[in-house]
């Protein structure tokens, strides 16, 4: 499977590399660092996890089963045979995977967010919290925002040993950064 992408000039070098966590005949699982895009997009082509993997292994058919935003670090699954991609994507779509996100933020949630609600799930303990709001993400615009209207996003926020652990129940794009903002006051 040959992929063609437009030529990218003056692409900045991303000095961080991924670590291969697991591999077998069907998949390669990596720990993607912050700032490394999962796939080519915009000004990024060679400096992406996908292209680096294809070049490292000499396998042009490698494709991601899912992706993480460029600014997000974490585990990404790649498949070596594009015909297997759908089966792995279904695991994510059907929520048969567990996604855990960590957020470095002060452990002092605001009492009244501008939009939506934040409430303790186990009063009188502060954590875990349930953050509920309406998140709007317009196509073609990177930034998402909250607005007053019917809730479409719910995130459970726990206090971990070194970071807040977030479980995006709704799994909306840009949900976690917006939920994390409710921890800053």
Query: Model confidence over 58-75: pLDDT tens digits?
Result: 999 999 998 888 888 889
Task: Check residue 61 and report its DSSP letter.
Answer: T
The position carrying tokens 């990404």 is 76
Is the Cβ–Cβ distance between 180 and 108 less than 8 Å? no
Q: Which fold has domain 19-97?
A: Pseudouridine synthase (3.30.2350)
- Rounded average pLDDT over 1-14: 68
Structural domain spans, the chain = 19-97, 102-181
**Distance (Å, whole) CA 80 – CA 86:** 12
Q: With b meaning 16 or more CB within 10 Å and e meaning fewer, what string describes 12-48?
A: eebeeebeeeeeeeebbbbebbeebbbbbeeebbebb
Summary mean pLDDT of the chain = 84
Residues, the chain: 185
pLDDT at position 42 is 79
**Total Cβ atoms within 10 A of residue 119:** 10
**Distance (Å, whole) CA 57 – CA 125:** 49
Which has more pLDDT, 40 or 170?
40
pTM listed for this prediction: 0.73
The closest of 62, 68, 35 to 50, measured between CA atoms, is: 62
């Amino acid at each position: 499977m040959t992929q063609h992408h437009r030529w990218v000039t003056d692409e900045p070098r991303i000095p961080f590399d991924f670590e291969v966590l697991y591999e077998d005949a069907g998949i390669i699982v990596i720990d993607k660092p912050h700032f490394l895009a999962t796939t080519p997009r915009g000004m990024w082509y060679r400096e992406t996890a996908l292209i680096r993997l294809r070049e490292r292994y000499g396998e042009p058919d490698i494709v991601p089963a899912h992706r993480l935003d460029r600014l997000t670090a974490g585990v990404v699954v790649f498949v070596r045979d594009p015909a297997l991609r759908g089966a792995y994507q279904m695991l994510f779509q059907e929520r048969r995977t567990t996604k855990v996100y960590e957020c470095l933020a002060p452990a002092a949630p605001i009492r009244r967010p501008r939009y939506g609600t934040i409430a303790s799930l186990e009063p009188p303990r502060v954590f875990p919290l349930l953050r509920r709001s309406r998140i709007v993400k317009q196509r073609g615009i990177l930034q998402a925002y909250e607005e007053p209207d019917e809730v479409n996003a719910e995130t459970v926020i726990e206090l971990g040993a070194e970071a807040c652990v977030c479980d995006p129940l709704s799994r909306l794009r840009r949900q976690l950064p917006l939920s994390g903002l409710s921890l800053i006051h």
